[in-house]
């Protein structure tokens, strides 16, 4: 079992409580059998008056209450145990993802992360809620029952000892096949879930390009693969259950046959002892059969453990942080920086100087490295060569938290949370409502905000439902403005906006006088606000200068003629 799951397993308070409740359950089973036998013996064999059975009826009632109570608290404790473990594992996933670089996060589909975080972690429930408690119970109850039967009829106890090992042996033999099939099923489920979520997010785009039929067939293939894997696991589960029931039936039959010979043929076993043995024998096997209930869930959980352990074992790309704090509105310097995509071109070597409290724009043809250069400057990528300095200090000496506290990044596809407008803009910080409303005005969201039924408390739907693409982009810009960052990175901040809104946002960006701003843009209204412009083509800086100087550069004129600067 993976190390961190063993550590979670060894929560002593839960283990001790499971053992205690199992002992109480075992004691109640023995008392229940004893009282039933005595009541039957007194009433039907000895022909005694009903009053003589009252003490045993009292014991029976107490045993039933004890059994019901111990089972209830066992289930309640198991649910609490499983919930605690799942919370810790989800916390570990979030901690692991939070230290990964932008590059690593982009390599994995959002749908796959959601499936891991929700569905795969939920698969652990079978192990911690069912398997561990039932495993402890199946150890305690059979031992107590067996000891009780040794003092009653040794021969029956020997039959139990001989037949009982066949049940765990069947688990071991079938378990290997179940483990492999469960891992394949979980992998198929993650593929299916991830694909479904990604298609759901891109459904509008697929409909516009008339690709829904094609993607429906792809989703059907994933669904078929998942169905086949699920059926394979169920076949093994049914076969295992049949085998265990067969062993149980044969065991009880042998005990009944042995008792029959002793009572009727040899007349060496009294009725009370025989009835007590026959009452306890099914309880012995039932305790072992309970393992079968959780066995397949445990195998599915093992598969989930392996998937999660693989995810947690991925080493995060180290961006090499230090302990120095970032100064307000710093200068940035990217020197001979190179970055290689795994399946794509190399960007660089590239050198960019970003002055403090100025607007620096990156322009160039689509797909030639502008956004990558922006991510380099924002410390989102691990440089393969070259270095980045912040106020003349190497990025590796800067404190990570200090950097992210001072910077804000608005991507082309910013995320809007399914929460209130206020929470979307505050992002956990202590920001006044006045500042939030001011940022909405600067982002030209005044008319939209005035129509909200609950103002800043209005909830935004999942996946930014209820917002247009332009409103979503302006929400992201308002979020960046209200944070008052020292460094602001914007990737196509005004793309898809109308002329009036573009002008208002450009003015809002230029009004951040105490902020170092770096932006990627194709829009003239935004571009003319920049004091420094870099033209990037084929992953390298081809020209740089202010707006007037860039008007004389052939590259810039070529972009205008192609419509790449609007």
- Do 339 and 308 reside in the same domain of the chain? no
In a domain, 325, yes or no: no
Partners of 519 in beta bridges: 361, 490
In a domain, 445, yes or no: yes
Per-residue pLDDT of the chain (566 residues), as tens digits, is: 454 455 555 577 888 899 999 999 999 999 999 999 999 999 988 889 999 999 999 999 999 999 999 999 999 999 999 888 888 888 888 888 777 666 666 666 666 777 788 888 888 888 888 888 988 998 899 999 999 999 999 999 999 988 888 877 776 666 666 666 666 776 777 777 777 777 776 777 777 777 777 888 888 887 888 888 778 777 776 777 777 788 888 888 999 999 988 888 888 889 899 999 999 999 998 888 877 666 655 766 777 888 888 888 876 665 678 888 888 888 999 999 888 877 667 887 899 999 998 999 998 887 788 888 998 898 888 888 888 999 889 988 888 888 888 888 888 777 788 788 888 888 888 888 888 898 888 888 888 888 888 888 888 876 666 677 778 888 888 888 888 889 999 888 777 677 777 777 777 787 788 889 999 887 766 777 788 989 888 888 888 887 777 766 666 666 556 555 54
In a domain, 275, yes or no: yes
In a domain, 216, yes or no: yes
In a domain, 319, yes or no: no
- 519 within 8 A of 490, measured Cβ to Cβ: yes
- Do 478 and 519 reside in the same domain of the chain? yes
- Do 362 and 402 reside in the same domain of the chain? yes
- 547 within 8 A of 528, measured Cβ to Cβ: yes
Alpha helix ranges (H) inside 44-165 = 54-98, 102-106, 110-115, 121-122, 125, 132-150, 154-163
With b for 16 or more beta-carbon neighbours within 10 A and e for fewer, the 97-128 pattern comes to: beebbbbbeeeebebbbbbbbebbbebbbbbb
* DSSP category for residue 116: I
In a domain, 432, yes or no: yes
In a domain, 272, yes or no: yes
pLDDT of residue 40: 93
| Domain termination site, one of 257, 285, 313 | 313
Q: Locate 415 and state its tokens.
A: 């995320």
Full residue range of the structural domain in which residue 343 is found: 332-561
- Do 90 and 20 reside in the same domain of the chain? yes
In a domain, 298, yes or no: yes
Question: CA 278 to CA 255: how far, in whole Å?
Answer: 8
- Do 309 and 337 reside in the same domain of the chain? no
Question: CA 273 to CA 256: how far, in whole Å?
Answer: 12
- Do 113 and 216 reside in the same domain of the chain? yes
- Do 182 and 52 reside in the same domain of the chain? yes
Domain count, the chain: 2
Q: Locate 100 and state its tokens.
A: 């990964």
Q: Locate 316 and state its tokens.
A: 């995060």
Cβ-proximal residues to 169 (8 Å cutoff; 6+ apart), any chain: none
Does the pTM surpass 0.85? The reply is: no
DSSP symbols for 38-66: HHHIIIIIS---GGGGHHHHHHHHHHHHH
- Do 131 and 252 reside in the same domain of the chain? yes
Question: By C-alpha distance, which of 520, 555, 532 is closest to 333?
Answer: 532
- Do 499 and 469 reside in the same domain of the chain? yes
Partners of 409 in beta bridges: 489
pLDDT of residue 106: 62
What CATH code is carried by the domain that includes residue 103?
1.20.1560.10
Question: CA 462 to CA 482: how far, in whole Å?
Answer: 23
Following CA atoms 148, 149, 152, 156 in sequence, which dihedral angle do they give, to the nearest 10 degrees?
A: 180
What CATH code is carried by the domain that includes residue 384?
3.40.50.300
- Do 292 and 424 reside in the same domain of the chain? no
In the three-class reduction of DSSP (H, G, I as helix; E, B as strand; rest coil), residue 524 is classed as helix
- Do 242 and 344 reside in the same domain of the chain? no
- Do 494 and 369 reside in the same domain of the chain? yes
């Amino acid at each position: 079992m993976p190390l961190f799951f063993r550590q979670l397993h060894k929560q002593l308070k839960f283990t001790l409580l499971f053992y205690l409740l199992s002992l109480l359950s075992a004691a109640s089973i023995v008392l229940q059998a004893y009282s039933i036998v005595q009541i039957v013996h007194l009433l039907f064999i000895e022909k005694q008056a009903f009053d003589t059975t009252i003490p045993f009826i009292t014991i029976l009632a107490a045993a039933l209450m004890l059994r019901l109570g111990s089972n209830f608290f066992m289930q309640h404790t198991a649910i609490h145990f499983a919930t605690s473990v799942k919370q810790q594992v989800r916390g570990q996933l979030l901690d692991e993802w939070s230290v990964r670089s932008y590059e690593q996060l982009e390599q994995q589909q959002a749908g796959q992360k959601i499936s891991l975080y929700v569905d795969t972690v939920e698969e652990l429930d079978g192990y911690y809620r069912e398997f561990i408690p039932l495993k402890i119970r199946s150890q305690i109850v059979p031992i107590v029952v067996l000891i009780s039967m040794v003092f009653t009829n040794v021969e029956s106890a020997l039959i139990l000892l001989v037949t009982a090992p066949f049940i765990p042996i069947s688990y071991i033999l079938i378990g290997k096949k179940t483990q492999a099939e469960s891992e394949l099923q979980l992998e198929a489920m993650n593929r299916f879930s991830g694909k479904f979520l990604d298609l759901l997010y891109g459904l509008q785009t697929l409909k516009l390009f008339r690709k829904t039929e094609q993607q429906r067939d792809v989703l059907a293939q994933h669904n078929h693969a998942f169905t086949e894997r699920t059926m394979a696991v169920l076949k093994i589960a049914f076969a295992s259950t049949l085998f265990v029931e067969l062993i149980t039936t044969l065991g009880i039959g042998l005990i009944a046959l042995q008792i029959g010979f002793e009572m009727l043929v040899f007349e060496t076993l009294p009725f009370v002892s025989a009835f007590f043995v026959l009452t306890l024998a099914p309880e012995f096997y039932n305790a072992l059969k309970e393992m079968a209930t959780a066995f397949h869930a445990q195998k599915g959980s093992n598969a989930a453990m392996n998937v999660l352990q693989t995810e947690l074992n991925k080493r995060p790309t180290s961006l090499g942080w230090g302990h120095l704090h970032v100064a307000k509105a710093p200068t940035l310097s990217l020197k001979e920086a190179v970055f290689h995509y795994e399946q794509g071109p190399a960007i660089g070597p590239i050198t960019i100087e970003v002055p403090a409290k100025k607007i620096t724009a990156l322009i160039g043809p689509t797909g030639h490295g502008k956004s990558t250069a922006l991510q380099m400057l924002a410390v989102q990528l691990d440089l393969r060569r070259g270095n980045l300095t912040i106020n003349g200090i190497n990025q590796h000496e800067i404190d990570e938290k200090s950097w992210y506290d001072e910077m804000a990044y608005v991507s082309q596809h910013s995320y809007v949370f399914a929460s209130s407008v206020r929470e979307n803009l505050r992002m956990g910080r202590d920001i006044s409502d006045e500042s939030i409303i001011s940022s909405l005005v600067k982002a030209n969201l005044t008319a939209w905000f005035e129509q909200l039924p609950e103002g800043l408390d209005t909830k935004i739907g999942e996946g930014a439902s209820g917002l247009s693409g332009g409103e979503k982009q302006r929400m992201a810009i308002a979020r960046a403005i209200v944070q008052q960052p020292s460094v602001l990175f914007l990737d196509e901040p005004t793309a898809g906006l109308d002329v009036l809104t573009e002008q208002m946002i450009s003015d809002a960006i230029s009004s951040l006088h105490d902020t170092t701003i770096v932006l990627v843009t194709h829009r003239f209204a935004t571009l003319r606000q920049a004091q420094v412009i870099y033209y990037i083509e084929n992953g390298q800086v081809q020209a740089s200068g202010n707006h007037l100087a860039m008007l004389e550069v052939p590259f810039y004129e070529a972009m205008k003629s192609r419509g790449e600067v609007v």
